[in-house]
């Protein structure tokens, strides 16, 4: 069974945008304060939740970050266009499994899957 992201050891070095891996990392965790070019929206993604943002993966041109646990939790996701760090989109996940987030398509998505598909299709 895979180790939950929150329990993985943190990387002890800074990472540039080009060095963020395309797929989820199973052996370590990159927190937003280690991402050299991180926009403030990602650095502060989980400030009100008490969780630092951690890197998840790439979805198309977007870098996906999460603050908080992954499953039916009080969490927030942030996606940043790797080629334009001013383009940041967020999705709020609530403990009951519901959520909401504005996608790059201009639509407010009630489900995480639809929000991720909007990122993929942008």
Domain boundaries, the chain: 5-121
Q: How far is CA 38 from CA 81, 113, 117, 121, in A?
A: 11, 24, 23, 23
Angle at 28 between CA 23 and CA 32, to 5 degrees: 80
pTM listed for this prediction: 0.92
Per-residue pLDDT at 1 exceeds 70: no
Arithmetic mean of pLDDT, 51-58? 94
Give 80-119 pLDDT, tens digit per residue.
999 999 999 999 999 988 999 999 999 999 999 999 999 9
Q: What pLDDT does residue 5 have?
A: 73
Per-residue pLDDT at 4 exceeds 80: no
Q: Show the tokens assigned to 65.
A: 């970050």
The per-residue b/e assignment along 2-37, b for 16 or more CB within 10 angstroms, e otherwise, is eeebeebeeeeeebeeeebeeeebeeebbbbebbee
């Amino acid at each position: 069974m895979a180790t939950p992201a929150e329990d993985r050891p943190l990387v002890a070095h800074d990472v540039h945008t080009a060095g963020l891996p395309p797929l989820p990392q199973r052996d370590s965790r990159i927190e937003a304060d280690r991402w050299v070019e991180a926009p403030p929206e990602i650095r502060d993604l989980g400030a009100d939740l008490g969780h630092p943002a951690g890197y998840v993966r790439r979805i198309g041109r977007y870098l996906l970050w999460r603050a908080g646990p992954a499953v039916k939790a009080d969490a927030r996701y942030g996606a940043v266009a790797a080629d334009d760090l001013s383009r940041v989109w967020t999705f709020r996940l609530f403990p009951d499994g519901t959520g909401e987030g504005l996608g790059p398509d201009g639509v407010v998505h009630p489900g995480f899957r639809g929000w991720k598909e909007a990122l993929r299709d942008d």
